[in-house]
Amino acid sequence: MRDVAVIGVGCTKFGEKWDTSFRNLFVEAGGLALEDGNLSGDQIEEIFVGNMSAGRFVEQEHVGALIADYAGLATDNIPSTRVEAACASGGLAFRQAYTTVASGMADVVVAAGVEKMTDVGTEMTTDVLAAAADREWEGIAGATFPGLYAMIATLYMDRYGLTREQLAQVAVKNHANGEKNPNAQFRKAITLDTVLQSTLVADPLRLFDCSPVTDGAAAVILAPLERAREFTDTPVRVLGSSQASSTIALHDRRDICTLDATVAAGNRVFEMAKVERKDIGFIEVHDCFTIAELCAIEDLGFCKKGEAGKLTEEGVTALNGSLPVNPSGGLKACGHPVGATGIKQVYEVVRQLRGEAEGRQIDADIGMTHNVGGTGATVVCSILGRV
């Protein structure tokens, strides 16, 4: 397998984007990535698009071809493939693009993610997202995503003594980072009180423990490392990309506080990248809910189970801490257009490693992404490093 590099990245602003359409969101992100990589469309050989549910959000399937077409790439008849694993769809797109370049099937490949969530009402959005869980055993019984993660949070707090304030600190930290990210949906710092006094969604999770409903798209372009400098002076190397599955239903897990797919994907990507936990300068993790960020830090092996709340409280995961987590603002503050999130994470890591993260810049050589589908039935992790 060949070494692979990211040679261009693009990301739309995330938010409630009433003035644009599903297809135009992608075109905007793809155009930014082409511009960033000094590429023209006719150099693109293949596309992978992560998207969870355009079928229900905008009544459009066949998303890969649609997107190749509206990006002006259909005339070259290039292959374009949609991949889906709920909120990990973007991560899957990145991994498949990586495999395609690494294998030699193609040289210049786009990995993108897009979701337009705000064209339907809140009730339908909740129902569409519930399709990421087990419809026949969870959704049908009324389980929503806040409800499922609330069960994790309840057991976790009871078992490990996590305080409500420690949990809220995840949101406070991520909003502080989001304030510094020009693409973030919420660019406003909050206090512990903002979280603690917000509406109760599913006990113990409150509104500010939950990632928002978001429109957005992101795209990154991959090429063989040996060709990377044809396109950019600042290629970023993909050291590894791994994926793991677990049971679709939360109640079938060995332990609902540990995402076994995170453990497996984490171990695999560290082995693939030949780096250790201590080499990682920062992580973009999947904080769909505050509790999810704490589980991620632990299940990836950065601290022992039950300790991530304390680390957060002590500032270890803050931008100026020793292990910054979610410098982009995470899903919580940057927003969570489900199919786009996994690619936005890669976008953030690349911008950081290139030294282009402006007010939120971290000095690091290696960064990592962690993207979760459902309550952890799919996890994709990638590690990227400066060349």
Catalytic residues: 87, 336
User: Alpha-carbon distance 216 to 338, whole Å?
Assistant: 9
Considering beta carbons, is residue 6 or 71 the nearer one to a copy of itself? 71
Candidates 13, 20, 43, 55: give the one binding a copy of itself (CB under 8 A). Answer: 55
Beta bridge partners of 243: 380
Residue 139, Cβ density class (10 Å: 0-12 exposed, 13-18 middle, ≥19 buried)? middle
Stretch that binds a copy of itself, among 66-74, 195-203, 344-352, 355-363 (CB under 8 A): 66-74
User: Alpha-carbon distance 144 to 383, whole Å?
Assistant: 31
Minimum distance from residue 231 beta carbon to a copy of itself (Å): 22
Structure tokens belonging to residue 200: 């109760």
Candidates 29, 39, 44, 73: give the one binding a copy of itself (CB under 8 A). Answer: 73
Considering beta carbons, is residue 102 or 155 the nearer one to a copy of itself? 102
User: Alpha-carbon distance 169 to 28, whole Å?
Assistant: 34
Contact set for a copy of itself, span 76-105 (CB under 8 A): 77-86, 92, 95-96, 99-100, 102-105
Stretch that binds a copy of itself, among 179-187, 216-224, 324-332, 374-382 (CB under 8 A): 374-382
Considering beta carbons, is residue 118 or 361 the nearer one to a copy of itself? 118
Residue 234, Cβ density class (10 Å: 0-12 exposed, 13-18 middle, ≥19 buried)? middle
Contact set for a copy of itself, span 14-43 (CB under 8 A): 21, 23
Give the 3-state secondary structure of 283-298: EECCCCEHHHHHHHHH
User: Alpha-carbon distance 205 to 190, whole Å?
Assistant: 16
Note the residues at the interface with a copy of itself (CB under 8 A): 1, 21, 23, 52-53, 55-56, 58-66, 68-70, 73-74, 77-86, 92, 95-96, 99-100, 102-105, 127-128, 131-136, 139, 242-249, 252, 260-261, 264-265, 373-374, 377-378
